[in-house]
């Protein structure tokens, strides 16, 4: 009777390093499945057992690393429930609110401080497609942070 080969779980550091390298080499990766496939291709079979990685885990680790910029394409998902964590990176969400003329607060939605995903208080913005790009760039043999168009100077 043949034994089934169990995929070994990659360490978080291995996934993040491979994801950053993949994004630096390819420039832009469209879709979390493609990111997972490229990371697994780069890591390969070490120690005889194939490596296992889900697309969701690859996306969350890339988002939490701070080295990969994620552009999230969204679709409408109905009414917004009470959310505990970010739908992109699973980090804690911050409730956003506006002040009224009388000094009260009106909830306007949720925002993730780590990856920047947000949703309104009434309409849920469900992530539908992910575009990964490097926050780092290589110039003249040096690797440094790339300035994002979203960043502002004070």
Give the residue extent of every domain in the chain.
Answer: 8-138
* Rg value, the chain, Cα: 19
> Whats the size of the chain, residue-wise?
154
pLDDT in tens, the chain (154 residues): 555 566 678 889 989 999 999 998 888 999 999 999 999 988 876 666 677 889 999 999 999 988 889 999 999 988 888 888 999 999 999 999 999 999 999 989 999 988 889 999 889 999 999 999 988 766 666 666 555 555 444 3
HSE toward the beta carbon, residue 138, CA cutoff 13 A: 8
**69, 134 Cβ separation under 8 angstroms:** yes
Reported as half-sphere exposure (CB side, CA atoms, 13 A), residue 128 has a value of 7
Q: Which pTM does this prediction carry?
A: 0.76
């Amino acid at each position: 009777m043949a034994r089934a080969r169990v995929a070994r779980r990659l360490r978080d550091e291995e996934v993040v390093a491979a994801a950053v390298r993949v994004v630096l080499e390819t420039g832009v990766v469209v879709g979390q499945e493609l990111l997972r496939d490229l990371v697994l291709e780069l890591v390969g079979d070490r120690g005889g057992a194939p490596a296992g990685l889900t697309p969701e885990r690859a996306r969350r680790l890339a988002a939490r690393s701070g080295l990969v910029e994620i552009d999230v394409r969204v679709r409408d998902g109905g009414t917004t429930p009470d959310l505990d964590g970010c739908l992109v990176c699973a980090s804690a969400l911050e409730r956003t609110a506006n002040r009224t003329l009388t000094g009260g607060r009106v909830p306007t939605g949720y925002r993730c401080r780590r990856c920047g995903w947000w949703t309104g208080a009434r309409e849920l913005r469900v992530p539908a497609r992910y575009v990964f790009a490097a926050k780092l760039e290589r110039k003249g043999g040096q690797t440094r942070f790339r300035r994002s168009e979203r960043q502002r100077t004070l």
